[in-house]
Amino acid sequence: MNILGISCFYHDSAAALIRDGVIVAAAQEERFTRKKHDHNFPAQAIAWCLKQGGITPAGLDLVAFYDKPLVKFERILETYLAYAPRGIASFMMAMPLWLKEKLWIPSLIRDALDGYEGKLVFTDHHESHAASAFYPSPFTQAAFLTLDGVGEWTTTSYGVGKGNTLRMMGEQSFPHSLGLLYSAFTYFTGFKVNSAEYKVMGLAPYGEPKYVQTIYDHLIDLKADGSFKMNMEYFDYCAGLRMTNAKFAALFGGPERAQESKLTQREMDLARSLQDVTEEIMLRMARHVHRETGEENLVMAGGVALNCVGNGRILREGPFRDIWIQPAAGDAGGALGAALFAWHAILENPRAVTPGRDAQRGSYLGPLYDDDAIEHFLRMNEIPFRKLTRDELVETTADLIAGENVIGWFQGRMEFGPRALGARSIIGDARSPKMQSVMNLKIKFRESFRPFAPTVLKEKVGEYFQLDRASPYMLLVAPVTKERMIPMTPEQESLFGIEKLNVPRSDIPAVTHIDYSARVQTVDREDNDLYYDVIRRFGEKTGCDVIINTSFNVRGEPIVCRPEEAYRCFMRTEMDYLVMGSFVVAKKEQKPLTADANWMKEFELD
């Protein structure tokens, strides 16, 4: 039985195909259209999922959509009416899209799936999140916690998953939203909403928590159970075209930072204060969910579940024995959740769990390009290359990393979710003190403060990080071990914010943030044997079982999907080598790209 899940029309549109409860394919539309966070109907993602499944639309048995558009429309109308006549401008901007597309989703789906005559089901937005978190998890039963901006009305929900059932036990409603609170500060610190919240998280360690009490005194009334009310006098997202207003600006000493302008200590202190408040709310919610459910395991989804610093604190300080977070925690994962909810909760099919293994298989669920396809691309474009055996490829790549080369790594099926996990990655030597700066400024063309993540062999994680379990999806932050830390001198401690960036914090400085933390990815040979073997061989040569792993793209660009995008990104940056399938492409052997001087204008900055 084939079930297609769809999410779209807010951000991060996606499609997922499951067959008899097993995930066959899942991908975000942005990877095909090359428009980051593409919110449009995921026509190309759907087409690829069906192709991967070897079926046409007529071969589908059920189509599931990730939320209930009419209920969401009701919330928007009620909100505008509550604030009328204020907000007429944003109301007039929103309505054409609703009247043209969002209210006609059943017709849009049937038109797009020519030949499909089956049933359409619409799940609740937070049901989709909960399903995406629980059903692929390695737990037979667990508490779930979903946190995002807003679905229909709900902004946070919790309950219990058991067997093939999900039981909602509580929720918090719009406009009181941890996701929207975080987005408000993202906007105010000059970053792009629904895109750059992770930048605020990365900026936080450079600041001091000087505004924490101001947030508690003026912006939110936080309760012991993690629920809260927001003081809407300071926010404009209910009725306006901005996240915050003049009263918010006055509270924090002036207007919002202009995009792309210089970061000041204020933005760093705001980021730190917001992050501290967010972590406290997440911890209180987790403890409340534990008290209410009595479960020993927790699963999480929703955009806020991508806050890996908060996740790490829940794991270390919270009451749960273990946690599992959906790797595509945002709206893209809703497509997968809707399909799984239809299979298990609506059709009441049983759920099989493999102890210690989730059902997402490393989240390598996207398109695959084999050696024939890659070689065809290289030869058609007269690109010089070397073809290696598997053993030669492992040996050569390990040597290149050890030589402090930056490598574009394009292997196997593309990842589903926002993180590159060793299929569409840029990799390098974590021991190099210059590598973070080189990668940020010369490869990614992005802000220098942004940290890079390590990939470490799963069985070696405890030797490098204060983490006692696998973290395959780069969704947990942990400190490096005390033995690896390099203490700061008094002179270094007194440095201003960003000036601390170039002070090594450990013997793997390229992946150690200024607060001695790292967003850890562990790699298991069962999930990605080639990537694992390269890191293992690098470790044998150097004594270090950790490399840098960042997404294969430049700032503002979606992660590469196809060989041509990988080669183009490689040539536009100062990467040294491209390793695609069995092929190694050296930058020094390439001809410059022609008629490509203005490529940086191709992608909207995030």
pLDDT tens-digit map of 117-136? 999 999 999 999 999 999 99
User: What is the pLDDT, as a whole number, of residue 503?
Assistant: 86
Average pLDDT, stretch 348-355? 94
| This prediction's pTM | 0.96
Q: How far apart are CA 71 and CA 73, in angstroms?
A: 5
Among the ranges given (164-168, 511-515, 534-538), the one the predictor scored with the smallest mean pLDDT: 511-515
Average pLDDT, the chain: 95
Give the model confidence (pLDDT) of 410-420 as tens digits: 999 999 999 99
Q: Is the pLDDT of residue 394 over 70?
A: yes
| Residue position matching structure tokens 């030669």 | 392
Confidence of residue 94 (pLDDT cuts 50, 70, 90): confident
Q: Is the pLDDT of residue 46 over 90?
A: yes
Average pLDDT, stretch 323-352? 98
Shortest CA distance to 425 belongs to which of 374, 364, 481?
364
Coil, strand or helix at 14 = strand
CA dihedral sign of residues 37, 39, 40, 45: positive
User: What is the pLDDT, as a whole number, of residue 584?
Assistant: 98
Q: Taking the domains of the chain in order of start, what are their residue ranges?
A: 371-602
DSSP 218: I
Coil, strand or helix at 516 = coil
Q: Is the pLDDT of residue 440 over 90?
A: no
Q: Is the pLDDT of residue 561 over 80?
A: yes
Average pLDDT, stretch 251-276? 96
Q: Is the pLDDT of residue 291 over 90?
A: yes
| CB of 542 closer than 8 Å to CB of 499 | no
Query: Residue 348 — left, alpha, or beta (φ > 0 → left; ψ -120 to 50 → alpha)?
Result: left
User: What is the pLDDT, as a whole number, of residue 25?
Assistant: 98
| CB of 56 closer than 8 Å to CB of 41 | no
Average pLDDT, stretch 366-380? 98
Q: Which of 59-68, 435-444, 586-595 has the highest mean pLDDT?
A: 59-68
Among the ranges given (49-63, 264-278, 280-294, 485-499), the one the predictor scored with the smallest mean pLDDT: 485-499
User: What is the pLDDT, as a whole number, of residue 214?
Assistant: 98
Among the ranges given (36-50, 89-103, 191-205, 311-325), the one the predictor scored with the smallest mean pLDDT: 89-103
User: What is the pLDDT, as a whole number, of residue 597?
Assistant: 67
Give the model confidence (pLDDT) of 458-471 as tens digits: 999 999 999 999 99
Q: How far apart are CA 220 and CA 182, in angstroms?
A: 12
Instruction: Identify residue 286 by its one-letter amino acid code.
Output: A
| Neighbour tally for 255: CB within 10 Å | 12
DSSP string for 351-397: ---BTTB-TTGGGB-S----HHHHHHHHHHTT---EE--HHHHHHHH
User: What is the pLDDT, as a whole number, of residue 328?
Assistant: 98
- What CATH topology corresponds to 371-602? DHBP synthase (3.90.870)
Among the ranges given (70-84, 150-164, 306-320, 558-572), the one the predictor scored with the smallest mean pLDDT: 70-84
User: What is the pLDDT, as a whole number, of residue 492?
Assistant: 83
Q: How far apart are CA 412 and CA 292, in angstroms?
A: 42
Give the model confidence (pLDDT) of 473-523 as tens digits: 999 999 999 999 999 888 887 777 677 777 889 999 999 999 999 999 999
